[in-house]
Amino acid sequence: MSDSTNHRNDHWWRHLVMWVAISIAVLPPLYVVTAAFNSDQTLSGSSLIPRSLTLENFKGLFVQKEGGAEVFFVRWFRASVIIAVLNAFFTVFIGALSAYAFSRFRFRGRRMGMLFLLLIQMFPGLLNLVAIYLIVLRTGEVIPALGLNKLTALLVVYLSGAMSVNLWLMKGFFDSIPAELDESARVDGATPAQIFWGVILPLAVPVLSVVGMFAFVGTLNEFITASVLLETVDNFTLPLGLQSYIGTNFEENWGSFAAGVLIAQIPAIIGFIFVQKYIISGLTQGSVKG
Amino acid sequence: MTQAAQYRPSLLARVISLFSGVGGLLVKLLLLCVLNGITGWAIIVLFTQDRIAWALGTIAVLGLIDFIYLVPNRFLPAKFIIPGSVLLIAYLIVPIFFTINTAFQEYSTGHVLTKAEAIDTNIEQNVVQGDRFFQMTPARDASGELVLVLVDDTSGQTYLGRQSGLEEIDSTTVSVDDFGDVLPPAGFTALVGDELFAIDAELAAFEVPLDNGGVIRTEGLSGAYDSVPGFEYDASSDSLIAADSGVAYRDNGRGSFTSADGEELVVGWREYIGFENFTSVITNPLVRQPFLRAFVWTIGFAGSTVLLSFAIGLFLAKVIDKPNFRGKKLYRSMLVIPYAIPGFLSLLVFKGLLNDDYGLINKLLPFDPPWLFDPWWARLSVILVSVWLTTPYFLLVCMGALQSIPAELVEAARVDGAGRWQVFRKVTLPLLLVVVTPLLIASFAYNFNNFNNVYLLTGGGPSTDDQAVAGATDILISYTYKLAFESGKGQDYGLASAISVYIFFIVAAMSASGFLRSKALENMK
Amino acid sequence: MKKHLAKFVAGLTVAAFAALSMPTASGAATTLRIWADADRKASVEKVAGAWGKKNGVTVTVVQKDFGKIRDDLKTVDVATAPDVIVGAHDWVGELAANGSVIPLTVSKSVAAKIPSYSLDAFSYANAKGNKVLYGAPVALENVGLVVNTKVAKVPTSFDDMVSQALAFQKKATGNFGLVIPGGDAYHNYPLFSGLCGYVFGKDAKGNLNSSDVGVGNAKLLDNASQIDSWNKSGLLSSKVDYGIAKNAFLAGKAAFWVTGPWEKDTLDKSGLKVQIVQMPKNKCDSVPFLGVQGFMVTKFAKTHGVESQARDLVGSYMMSAGAQTQLSSENGRAPANTDAAAKITDPLLKQFAAAGKGGVPMPNIPEMSSVWGDLGTAWTNVFKGADATPAKSAFRTAGKNIVAKIG
């Protein structure tokens, strides 16, 4: 870029914009922080400063109270992270495969297929879960690992959207990778699979990172599908487990819930820090010399 | 792949490109083996469960998949599309057909059983209890026959109850111990523990016939009561007949038994009722009346949410997207925080923040808008909060998509003397839109059905005086949800499914038309 | 071709391994499965476990979100379905209409120990209009008027309560007189009943009649101007939500708070001096809604062949004073069994129970789902301050809407 070497980009107004945006972005989450350290167990709407500070809410996630319910927080956390990593990985993989096909091959039904995949996501999913439950139930009778109360089944259900949800985003990005690169590889004798792995994917790292990030964070927060498929508390994912702190009418342990949510953000933040350099890398340097 | 290497790709990119050789092939083979293994296993199980059709179907599908992958250089698109498609069909398309199927059924509170179950349940719920209750102990006589030893809890009279009938016995032969348990007379052995468990079903169904046509039925392990049936099922007329009045309740073809004067039994069953759910949506005044207003608002809500989020997301992405911009890593991380916090939690926090007497926002503002209590302010609140929730998505998308815009195009325009804004409008934005338009449409459709944002923030309110169901901020999906689940007897899945189908057609038609007019599809040369 | 063959062989090998790792079929054991929510799981395990030990039955308690117990019962697979559930009495109509729970019969000696209103709460009329019992009432809960006795006296009359509240409110900015979660039909019910409102009337046989909706009844509308005056004087505001009400009371900034026994621990820990009473009589008795929790036997107990066992557990054991005393002490709710209730020693629990005297069980007929939304909306609208809807028209509209929705 022409003006990349000097500090003209470091205008004060850019920083100002950033800080305004950030303060709007983090204000509600700050209330979650407050609630996590508040002994009142309310999601206080009126005060950012807790009435009394406590670490009890965090302690309660790890240590079983006298006569209280057993705590599974660590298990929930582990299950969530594992399933989020796997879902992110496979979503990227499956999505990239499909996007590559739609970007690089010309076949009958291609345009209609793309449109179909876009529209199919618009079906209000309110009632689909009943069917998903039944499908998983029946599948479980044949392949136990894909049955109810199995994290593998949940993963597979999550992956059902891998193809459609990010198809347009990925395909758009793939389209912007110059076809000449494929062409020269093909001349060198590369197969489509080799072009996919060797040319397209390495250049598509930014979009793969974005999609992976979406899938990762989305899984960490997903509640409804998990609540239908997972049945016993020792098998829950984190959002599902935390929900039990606030599931009862009025007896809501917002403090413990908020503390759990805060801890649950750690993988999301680590994930983001990990991928953010890839989001920006890739094409900036390599973009179109040919 | 040597091409990529010139550009000094990142470590991740280099790792990925390793798979372009033998590695990728091995992965493919490994995955195929796993698929064959698992599915092969499933086929064996299906055969052992005598589900032959399923087994054969699975073999056919598996065979097809293997064939496609093992024939080199043919079916190339299919090779790339199959993994996604299989999952899509199994867990997205099949459920949609299931929902459509439900839309043709009476499936609501009181209509969840099968007809046979409904008949049994009606008979069971209408058993007429007598006025006698017995303490009971199940026992076996010398021949091993199951007998109920009964003590009338009012008169103290003792009986032996057999399937052949009731037999009065001398009360001195039966005693009751300190725990209130009845001890059987000599020659009978009381059943306890596992023995009881083993005969559970038998005991539950045990009936001692009485002279008045009634029976003594057991209640649990230590009680029994006399009763007469209230209903009998008559198979020839397919109806339930009331034992006392003789009134017949007939199958009305819509999942209920009804009498001649229109009285309906509470327990019905799931039944196909054709297009009735679809027509009732149209004829129901609770639906018709607010439809247009809710429809317009839904479009306004979804449209402005998407456009504002995109605009803000793009603006912020552009502001950050400068080399040497100090702190950009920090800024980026902070800005995506709204995305990382569970949405429903943020919505609940916002509900508190927007409280017009006690919320922080009005404490900071010089005036106090009634954010959640006035129809128009509430609409604004819903949009603003949705924008807050959606912007990080578009920020991430734009941050990625901006990378895909060739820098030399921008530079060329600059050289030609175009200003920043012109470059943005004439070069950057059009290129960006090609990538982003489908996402905008998808996001529009998502927000069109964004039940949570409305339901958790305003509950659809504030109410409008003229309307029973839809409040000022109710979008189509939230007001129809109220109609299906918070009206009548609640829980009308059939109606909800029919509504889902309608909404799908509405939003799909709008999206498709918007989409066909955009350049995104044209661009697919 | 050889290469392809090798792939298939490899695939089959994996199949063989998968087959070897096949789990053994789970044999039907002498188990009874109970669904309970997180709060009650431990106590149910203990109490039902004691019963199980006596009868040689293994009791498995599966933890579910409270609301999901009701929802999941519709879709659950027979293999993993519960035989017994913990539930609220207001689910009974829906569960009975769906045939999800089965009728119970209790002996007179058992019934004598359980107040008839709580048995009625767990009953639903059959086709003949007879009440059929579907559950064992175990715990009662209701809201009461919690008085911060440091700043207010236990009110002697409704007017006294109002004037004390207003006086305290005027004392300092940030003070509240009476805090009730805004727009919440449940917490506002004492106000509603005090003005002679009711939700459903009863038919000749004493069963709830869904065509007699009392939300906009004439007596209530006549008394509705009182509501307008509470709005005008700032006594009540729909902007006070549950959290604000709770925080204000705990901070000593509210004289009266309407809440229930689920806040007992909070009150105990708060260090405030409180007394809980029923809200004083207004035009009619200001009774609260009663919630009754209990156990029900599902239809799956039949399919699992444990029906008699489940009936024994629910219909006789759980009704007993011993079981209810233990459940009560673990869960902080008043027991339904009168012998057990007489044994409560906890002062707050006792006061909450007394505040429920004469209370109205929340209607358990499925038509109740048409009521909550509109009744809540009416409460929101009447306490909106300057923009408030006059109560008369708000409740008339709510009544009209509810009738329309019941259809």
pLDDT of residue C26: 41
- Give the pLDDT confidence score for residue C83 in this predicted structure: 96
- DSSP per residue, B331-391: HHHHHTHHHHS-HHHHHHHHHHHT-TTT-HHHHHSSS---TTTSHHHHHHHHHHHHHHHHH
- Average pLDDT for chain A: 82
Of the candidates A25, A115, A277, which has its C-beta nearest B335's C-beta? A25
pLDDT at residue B520 greater than cutoff 80: no
> Does residue C148 share a domain with residue C297?
no
Domain ranges of chain A: 10-54, 70-286
A-chain residues within 8 Å CB-CB of C250?
40, 51
Tell which of B196, B228, B260 closes a domain: B228
Q: pLDDT-derived band of residue B525, with 50, 70 and 90 as boundaries?
A: very low
Write down the pLDDT at residue A1: 40
User: Would the pLDDT of B203 be above 70?
Assistant: yes
Residue from A244, A253, A256 to probe the interface with C (highest C Cβ count within 10 Å): A244
pLDDT the model gives residue A290: 27
On whether any CB of chain C is under 8 Å from the CB of B517, the answer is no
Is the four-CA dihedral A272, A275, A277, A279 of positive or negative sign? negative
Q: Which of C46, C80, C267 to mutate to test the interface with A (most CBs of A within 10 A)?
A: C80
Question: Would residue B104 count as lying in a domain?
Answer: no
Spell out the per-residue pLDDT of chain C, length 407, in tens: 445 545 554 554 454 444 444 444 444 457 899 999 888 888 999 999 999 998 888 999 988 888 889 988 887 888 889 999 999 999 999 999 999 999 999 988 888 999 999 999 999 999 888 999 999 999 999 999 999 999 999 999 999 999 999 999 999 988 999 999 988 999 999 999 999 999 999 999 889 999 999 999 999 999 999 999 999 999 999 989 888 898 899 989 999 999 999 899 889 988 899 999 999 999 999 999 999 999 999 999 999 999 999 999 999 899 999 999 999 888 889 999 999 999 899 999 999 999 999 999 999 999 999 999 899 999 999 998 888 999 999 999 999 989 988 87
Q: Does B133 touch chain C (CB under 8 A)?
A: yes
Beta-carbon separation of A46 and C247 below 8 A: yes
Q: Is residue C58 part of a domain?
A: yes
Of B12, B19, B323, the CB nearest to A4: B323
Distance CA B110, CA C163 (A): 48
Q: For the domain that residue C280 is a member of, what is the CATH number?
A: 3.40.190.10
Amino acid residing at B267: V
Nearest CA in chain C to B259: C127
Give the number of domains in chain C.
2
| Chain A residues inside the 8 Å CB shell of C262 | 248-251
Q: Does residue B88 lie in a domain region?
A: no
- Mean pLDDT in residue range A81-109: 92
Same domain membership, residue C185 and residue C58:
no
In a domain? residue C6:
no
> Which residues 304-343 on chain B approach chain C with CB closer than 8 angstroms?
none
Averaged over B179-187, what is the pLDDT?
A: 82
Question: CB distance from B28 to chain A under 8 Å?
Answer: yes
Nearest CA in chain C to A39: C266
Read off the pLDDT of each residue in A9-34 and give the average, rounded to a whole number: 86
The reply to whether B305 and B401 lie within a common domain is yes
Q: Are A14 and B325 in contact (CB < 8 Å)?
A: yes
**A256 part of contact set with chain C, CB < 8 Å:** no
Residues C296 and C277 occupy one common structural domain:
no
Do C255 and C302 lie in one domain? The reply is no
Tokens of A15: 């920083």
pLDDT at B521 (0 to 100): 56
Mean pLDDT, range B451-474, rounded to an integer: 80
Task: Tell whether C305 is covered by a domain.
Answer: yes
Q: Which two tokens stand for residue A210?
A: 């974005």
Q: Nearest Cβ partner of C75 from A51, A68, A130?
A: A130
Which of B25, B299, B482, B524 has the most A C-beta neighbours within 10 Å, making it the best mutation to test the interface with A?
B524
- For B406-431, what is the mean pLDDT? 83
pLDDT value for A280: 63
Number of inter-chain CB pairs under 8 A, A vs C: 73
Lowest mean pLDDT among A241-245, A266-270, C215-219: A241-245
What does the pLDDT read at residue A12?
A: 82
pLDDT at A155: 95
**In DSSP terms, which residues pair with C142 in a beta bridge?**
C290
Distance from CA of B200 to the nearest CA of A (A): 27
Residue holding tokens 């299950």?
Answer: A79
Residue C301 parent element (H or E): helix C300-303
Task: With CB atoms and an 8 Å threshold, state whether C250 touches A51.
Answer: yes
Residue at A4: amino acid letter? S
Distance from CA of C351 to the nearest CA of B (A): 31
Report yes or no on C212 lying in a domain.
yes
A window 151-180, beta carbon within 8 A of C: none
Interface test with A, best of C21, C141, C240, C247 (most A CBs within 10 A): C247
pLDDT at A284: 39
Put simply, the chain C residues between 6 and 25 with a CB less than 8 A from any chain B CB are: 7-8, 10-19
pLDDT in tens, B260-290: 988 899 899 999 999 999 998 888 887 777 8
Q: Across chain B, what does the average pLDDT equal?
A: 86
Q: Do A40 and C246 touch (CB under 8 A)?
A: yes
* C65 → closest Cβ in A40, A133, A244: A244
CATH of the domain at B309: 1.10.3720.10
Task: Give the range of the structural domain holding residue C126, as residue numbers without chain letter.
Answer: 31-141+291-355
Share of chain B above pLDDT 70, in %: 96
Token pair in block for residue B169: 């016995």
User: What whole-number distance in Å separates Cα of residue B507 and Cα of residue B466?
Assistant: 27
List the domain range (segments joined by +) for residue B63: 2-74
Work out the end-to-end distance of chain C between its first and last CA atoms, rounded to an integer number of angstroms: 70
Residues of B in contact with C309 (CB under 8 A): 196-197, 200, 220-221
For residue B176, the distance in angstroms to the closest alpha carbon of chain C comes to 15
Residue B195 CA to residue C188 CA, distance in Å, equals 53
In a mutational test of the C interface, the residue from B200, B241, B259, B482 whose CB has the highest number of chain C CBs within 10 Å is B200
Hey, are the CB atoms on B46 and A142 less than 8 Å from each other? Answer: yes
- The reply to whether B350 and B425 lie within a common domain is yes
Name every chain C residue with its beta carbon within 8 A of the beta carbon of B231: 127
10 Å CB burial of residue B26 (0-12, 13-18, 19+) is: exposed
DSSP element (H, E) containing A101? helix A73-104
* B 6-25 → A contacts, CB under 8 A: 6-10, 12-14, 16-21, 23-25
Q: State whether B221 and C55 contact (CB < 8 Å).
A: yes
For residue B41, being part of any structural domain is answered with yes
In this structure, the answer to whether residues B430 and B320 fall within a common structural domain is yes
| Contact yes or no for B197 and C306 at CB 8 A | yes
**Residues C206, C238: one domain?**
yes
User: Which among B12, B331, B359 has the least Cβ separation from residue A22?
Assistant: B331
Coil, strand or helix: which one is B155? Answer: coil
Q: Which of A32, A101, A184 sits opposite B3 (nearest CB)?
A: A184
Query: Looking at the structure, do residues C107 and C167 belong to the same domain, yes or no?
Result: no
Range in B11-15, B225-229, B504-508, C148-152 with the lowest mean pLDDT: B11-15
B399 CB-near residues (< 8 Å, 6+ apart) = A210, A279, A280, B317, B320, B321, B332
When CB atoms are compared, the residue of B84, B353, B508 closest to A97 is B84
Rounded distance between C-alpha atoms, residue C396 and residue C407, angstroms: 17
Cβ contact, residue pair A206, B403, below 8 Å: yes
Give the pLDDT score at A6.
47
For domain A70-286, give the fold.
Answer: MetI-like fold (1.10.3720)
Band (pLDDT 50/70/90 cuts) for residue A281 is low
- A231 part of contact set with chain C, CB < 8 Å: yes
Q: CB distance from B41 to chain C under 8 Å?
A: yes
Kindly state whether residues B223 and B292 are assigned to the same domain: no
Rg for chain C, CA atoms, rounded: 25
> What token pair was written down for B76?
């190339």
Separation in Å, CA of B506 to nearest CA in chain C = 25
| pLDDT tens by residue, B343-381 | 888 888 888 888 877 888 888 888 888 888 888 999 999
Cβ–Cβ below 8 Å for C307 and B200: yes
CA C292 to chain A, closest CA, distance in angstroms equals 14
User: C224 and C187, same structural domain?
Assistant: yes
What is the domain-level CATH number for residue B220? 2.40.430.10
Residue B317 has pLDDT above 60, yes or no: yes
How confident is the model over A136-145, as a mean pLDDT? 87
The CA distance from C203 to the nearest CA of chain A, in Å, is 31
Q: Chain C, 184-213: which have a CB under 8 Å from a chain B CB?
A: none
Question: What average pLDDT does the segment B297-313 reach?
Answer: 95
Taking the CB of residue B308, how many other CB atoms lie within 10 A of it?
18
Interface B–C counts its CB contacts (< 8 A) at: 232
Chain C residue numbers touching B130 (CB-CB < 8 A): none
Residues contacting residue B375 through CB under 8 Å, at least 6 positions apart: B462, B464, B472, B473
Same domain, B327 and B476: yes
Identify the closest residue of chain C to A231 by CA–CA distance: C64
Q: What's the pLDDT band for A188 if we cut at 50, 70, 90?
A: confident
Distance from CA of A220 to the nearest CA of B (A): 9
Measured between beta carbons, the chain C residues lying within 8 angstroms of B98 are none
Structure confidence at residue B309 as a pLDDT band (50, 70, 90): very high
| Interchain CB contact of C30 with B (< 8 Å) | yes
> Is the same domain home to B224 and B297?
no
Number of domains in chain B: 3
**Is residue C272 located within the same domain as residue C315?**
no
Inform me whether the pLDDT recorded for A8 exceeds 70: no
Whether C179 and C307 share a structural domain: no
Domain for residue B224, yes or no?
A: yes
| Cα pseudo-dihedral A25, A29, A34, A35, rounded to 10 | 150
Q: Counting Cβ atoms within 10 Å, is residue B232 exposed (0-12), middle (13-18) or buried (19+)? A: exposed
Residue B524's pLDDT is what? 52
CB pairs under 8 A between A and B: 375
Residues C295 and C270 placed together within one structural domain of the fold: no
Confidence of residue A67 (pLDDT cuts 50, 70, 90): low
- pLDDT at residue B300 is higher than 90: yes
